Chain A
Amino acid sequence: MRLEVNSIRETGAELVIVANGKPHHAESFRKDLKLTNPIFVDPKLGTYKALKLKHGIWYTLRPIAWWHAFLAMRQGYRNKKYTGDVWQQGGTFLVMPSGQVPYHYISKHPGDHPNPKDFLSILTNIFKQAK
């Protein structure tokens, strides 16, 4: 994620992380990853619901989620702990000052992440057009 912070900031945008958990969880996360971008938590998941992000046991435990967990473990990733609602899935939204969202990605299961090249190319084009 640290690499993405730099890549996103180089385009002129900011990375904002919103998480499912409590403020003290965010503090540990920020320290562990040495992040300098804004990090917020939404313990009641109101923002997740407003964006209709996936939620439920099926999205978390479906077979493809186990496959992604296996691949992640093979690459050395381990979940140290879970915070908040474990059935909640994530998503990524590029939001312009006008409120328009030229890019979004809604994760369907754990390990389902957007390709950073997709949003970085959109961001690069947006700032090129603005010059």
Chain B
Amino acid sequence: MAWEISSELANSIVYDPEGREHRLGDSWLTKPALLVFIRHFG
């Protein structure tokens, strides 16, 4: 069964490398997004 993203996740605030805030859900508004959550940088 396919999952559906919760509004809690879509409304989550994440930060770009410059420290600016972004709503995560904006990432898939216009086209599919492959979200890769990585363990760590390095």
- Taking a contact as CB atoms closer than 8 A, the residue among B3, B9, B29, B39 that contacts A47 in the complex is B9
Count of A-B contacts judged by CB separation below 8 Å: 156
List A94-108 residues whose CB lies under 8 Å from chain B.
94-97, 99-102, 104, 107
Q: How far is the CA of A83 from the CA of B29 in the complex (A)?
A: 29
| Interface residues of chain A: helix, strand, loop or mixed (majority) | mixed
With contacts A20-B40, A25-B41, A100-B2 taken as known, whether A47 is within 8 angstroms of B34 at the C-beta atoms is no
With contacts A23-B15, A47-B14, A48-B37 taken as known, whether A96 is within 8 angstroms of B32 at the C-beta atoms is yes
CB-based contact B39/A20 at 8 Å:
yes
CB-based contact A16/B15 at 8 Å:
no
Q: How far is the CA of A83 from the CA of B8 in the complex (A)?
A: 25
Residues in B with CB closer than 8 Å to A93 are: 3, 5, 34-35, 37
Q: How far is the CA of A48 from the CA of B37 in the complex (A)?
A: 8
- Closest CB-CB distance, A73 to chain B, in whole Å? 14
A50 interfacial contact with B, CB 8 Å: yes
CB-based contact A24/B17 at 8 Å:
yes
Q: How far is the CA of A94 from the CA of B6 in the complex (A)?
A: 14
Q: How far is the CA of A16 from the CA of B4 in the complex (A)?
A: 18
CB-based contact A91/B37 at 8 Å:
yes
Question: Closest residue of chain B to A123, judged by CB?
Answer: B32
CB-based contact A100/B27 at 8 Å:
no
Residues in chain B within 8 A of chain A (CB atoms): 2-6, 8-10, 12, 14-19, 22, 24, 27-42
Closest 7 CB pairs of A and B: A40-B14, A101-B3, A27-B17, A26-B17, A13-B32, A29-B41, A95-B28
